[in-house]
Amino acid sequence: MRVLVVDDEPGMRMTLAANLELEGYEVVEAESGSQALDLVKERPFQAVITDMRMPGMSGLDTFRAIRELYPDMAVVLMTGFAVEEMLEEGLSEGAYAVLRKPFSMELAAKVLARAVRSQLILVVDDAPKAADTLAAALSLAGLQAESVHDGEAATHIVREGRVDVCVLDLVMPKKDGLATCQEILAIDPQVIIIAITGHAVERLIKAVLEQGCYACVRKPFDVKDLIHTIAQARGRADQW
């Protein structure tokens, strides 16, 4: 599994690379965005982790250039500074997750392993138009997304091992969000589940959170807020 570490700070770059190598990764280092772009053009990488604040080509510019070449490549952003506007743009354009310095090397390894494993966001909602529209909006933001309209279809896709995040409507006929959540986590405990609902179902919300659901987002919501919640969940090692 080959990953690219991009950081203009030698100590941080070398420490991260050394620790990822101990986890079994093949690591290539780049000290600048331009060097990273040259390396990506030369050879394939399964994932890239890049600092945001770098002289010359910023992490955001590096991310954009890489995604132009390889739209499906997972890119993790890391920062030790308050660059919220840049992070907002990166997340809105499909960055996998954000790691805020200082972070543990174990966390970085787990996030990268997750990114390489799968990036698919599965939207599950019994209202076909709502499900398809949300999946299309996530795809437009540069994320990999598909939609299904019932719990059975959702669990079938989870069994294929393709799902990273499941955005799951709670109130559905036949198999509701709680039952679907339980079955998904029994199949694959690493799937991140984010519940969504437009109903006053506090007991159902409480129950699904107790099952291991990361968060519940109330309808109607801004897609950008959901994207932030997904990125935050992907960057939280204690949740999976």
Q: pLDDT for 85-94, tens place per residue?
A: 888 889 889 9
The answer on 189 and 141 residing in a single domain is: yes
pLDDT one-digit tens code per residue, 149-166: 999 999 999 999 999 999
Q: Of 83, 117, 151, which residue sits at a domain end?
A: 117
The pTM score is 0.92
State the Cα–Cα distance between residues 107 and 148, nearest whole angstrom. 31
The alpha carbon of residue 84 and the mean position of all alpha carbons in its chain are separated, in whole angstroms, by 18
- Verify that 134 and 44 share a domain, yes or no: no
> Are residue 229 and residue 127 in the same domain, yes or no?
yes
Which of 176, 163, 167, 161 has the alpha carbon at shortest distance from 207? 176
Same domain (yes/no): 160, 233: yes
Q: Considering its fold, how many domains does the chain have in total?
A: 2
Q: What is the pLDDT of residue 79?
A: 87
Write down the residue that tokens 């950081």 correspond to: 7
Among 100, 117, 134, the domain-final residue is 117
Tell me the CATH number at 8: 3.40.50.2300
> How far is the C-alpha of 69 from the C-alpha of 37, rounded, in Å?
9
Assess whether 6 and 108 both reside in one domain: yes
Q: Are the C-beta atoms of 158 and 129 separated by less than 8 Å?
A: no
Angstrom distance (rounded) from CA 169 to CA 213: 12
* Joined tokens for residue 124: 């599950």
Residue 239: is its pLDDT beyond 60?
Answer: no
Q: How many CB atoms within 10 Å of residue 70?
A: 14
Q: Out of 93, 117, 141, pick the residue that ends a domain.
A: 117
- Domain containing residue 156: 120-239
State whether 183 and 133 are in the same domain: yes
Q: Do 127 and 71 share a structural domain?
A: no
In a shared domain, residues 176 and 112: no
Burial 106-118 (b: 16+ CB within 10 A, else e): eebbbbbbbbbeb
